[in-house]
Amino acid sequence: MKDRPASIKKAYLYISRNESSLKEKIGYIKKYIPGTVDAGADLKVFDTGDSASLEGFDSFVSSPSLFSELKVALLENIEKAPAAFQKKAAERLSKSTDTHTVFIFTSSSERINRTLLEEIKNRGTVKKIKPHSAGDLHRWLEEKSAADGITFNRDASALLIENVNLNMDLLKNEYRKLYDYISSEKEKTIDRDTVRHLVSRVYSLKIFDLVDFLGERDKERSLEALGDILVDDRNMLGLITLIHRMFKSMLYIKNEKGKGSVTDYLARNINMPPYFIGKMVNKYIKFSRNYSEAEIIKIIELLNDFDIDMRKSIISSSKLVKTMIARITDIKTYQV
């Protein structure tokens, strides 16, 4: 087996608070790697936020490849990995005799095991990725559509960029879908209705939509958003966490009559810049007017119960979430 090519370092850590930017970076890496690595056998992705995903890490990095010049262990969300695993990754990385494995990490911050961070810096590269701005995506869309002879009206382009959550790769994919549709039409203008029918909002935005509709106490749109989410059939524990955080914030607002405590609470629980937290606080203050303090307390108790049920139940999480959302939207009549 050959040593790692000199141009490729042993470790890379990509940092961004924007998940879409990290996903986009991983996509570029996967496109680049096949020329050097057998992607089927020698590229393995580990979601370090999922303990089950880590079980094969040792065997993967310890066994040499018979097919490629190197192997690539891609460890996403390393900041979410257990401390013991981060320590293990640092030990693996420190072994100077291991020249055949490249470690690629992603993280939302540098808040990872100190030894691991130093090993990455000593043996590789740490890069902070600046997320695309809405302006970047608008410029690409304007230039591409002009070159292709089609037009987006302002509402259509705004909705398309919102739906892809500032993800440039996803924008390009969705653009191709819209282009394929409009190229067979006599009128080459894409409007908001066309985008709404052909482009799905990314899953994370659907989740946030549902949480906001609950905050607005809009039962009809909450249930509609829930239906969109359940189509994807994913783990719903993250949804409970977001809803709980919103109502806990609203309870702080009800109790304190101000922004101090809720701002501190969100700063401890969200890895976001102060201006973003400030926007969330203002939104939650507005939402808090839609519920009484007694209703908020009932909802928090209900969420705690459903969190326990979902972790230990063999019943479909979709069924549990449907029941949970129905009870939240009917909180005045439902007795917890």
Residue 334 lies in a domain: no
For residue 271, what pLDDT band results from cuts at 50, 70 and 90? Answer: low
pTM, two decimals, is 0.56
Q: What residue numbers bound the domain in which 273 lies? A: 203-329
Q: What is the pLDDT of residue 270?
A: 77
Report the number of distinct structural domains present in the chain: 3
Q: DSSP letters along 105-139, please? A: EEESSS-S-HHHHHHHHHHEEEEEPPPPPHHHHHH
Q: What is the pLDDT of residue 109?
A: 87
Neighbours of 99 (CB within 10 A): 14
Residue 1 lies in a domain: no
pLDDT in tens, 231-246: 765 667 778 888 999 9
Residue 249 lies in a domain: yes
Domain end call among 128, 163, 187:
128
Statement: residue 316 has pLDDT above 90 = no
Residue 114 lies in a domain: yes
173 and 114 in a common domain: no
Statement: residue 335 has pLDDT above 60 = no
Domain end call among 88, 105, 128:
128
The secondary structure of the chain in percent helix, strand, coil, rounded to multiples of 5, reads 60, 10, 30
Asked if 260 and 301 touch (Cβ cutoff 8 Å), the reply is no
302 and 217 in a common domain: yes
The first and second tokens of residue 58, run together, are: 């040792």
146 and 83 in a common domain: no
Statement: residue 35 has pLDDT above 70 = no
Residue 2 lies in a domain: no
165 and 261 in a common domain: no
CATH code where residue 189 lies? 1.10.8
Cα–Cα dist 175/141, whole Å: 8
Asked if 303 and 321 touch (Cβ cutoff 8 Å), the reply is no
CATH code where residue 234 lies? 1.20.272.10
Give the residue among 4, 72, 9, 10 at the shortest CA–CA distance from 41: 72
Residue 211 lies in a domain: yes
322 and 300 in a common domain: yes
pLDDT in tens, 99-118: 678 899 999 888 899 999 99
267 and 250 in a common domain: yes
Q: What is the pLDDT of residue 97?
A: 60
Query: Which amino acid does the sequence have at 48?
Result: T
CATH code where residue 85 lies? 3.40.50.300
Domain end call among 153, 179, 198:
198
Statement: residue 51 has pLDDT above 80 = no
